[in-house]
Amino acid sequence: DVKVTQSSRYLVKRTGEKVFLECVQDMDHENMFWYRQDPGLGLRLIYFSYDVKMKEKGDIPEGYSVSREKKERFSLILESASTNQTSMYLCASSWGLGTISYEQYFGPGTRLTVT
């Protein structure tokens, strides 16, 4: 069974704080992704990584950074949290080798509230 875990289910932070969200997968997947999901807006890709130390901007990277030092771990960093970053954050992973895009497996999500 594929397992993607996220460091927290619920998190409350203050405006201006630095926030770390961590994701770990146990399937030796090459690709890892960070999304946020807001009502009416669907899933929006923040960043993804297709290899260790590699990263690509998604659709909404502003205000976020990422780190992937080990294959199984992908961290999302909010350098200075703002109230408009209150959201559900979802991590996902997938196989990355081959000539098609494979299914992504999601972690349970972190509901972040910035006050």
Partner 1 sequence: QKEVEQNSGPLSVPEGAIASLNCTYSDRGSQSFFWYRQYSGKSPELIMFIYSNGDKEDGRFTAQLNKASQYVSLLIRDSQPSDSATYLCAAGGNFGNEKLTFGTGTRLTIIP
Residue 103 touches partner 1, criterion: CB under 8 A: yes
Distance in Å, CB of 82 to partner 1, minimum: 23
3-state helix, strand, coil in the chain (%, to 5): 5, 50, 45
Residue 106 touches partner 1, criterion: CB under 8 A: yes
Q: Which is nearer to partner 1, 69 or 98 (CB)?
A: 98
Q: Which is nearer to partner 1, 9 or 14 (CB)?
A: 9
Within residues 10-69, the interface with partner 1 by CB under 8 A covers 30-31, 33, 40-43, 45, 48, 50-51, 56, 58
Q: Is 21 helix (H, G, I), strand (E, B) or coil?
A: strand
State the residues that interact with partner 1 by CB under 8 A: 30-31, 33, 40-43, 45, 48, 50-51, 56, 58, 90, 95-109
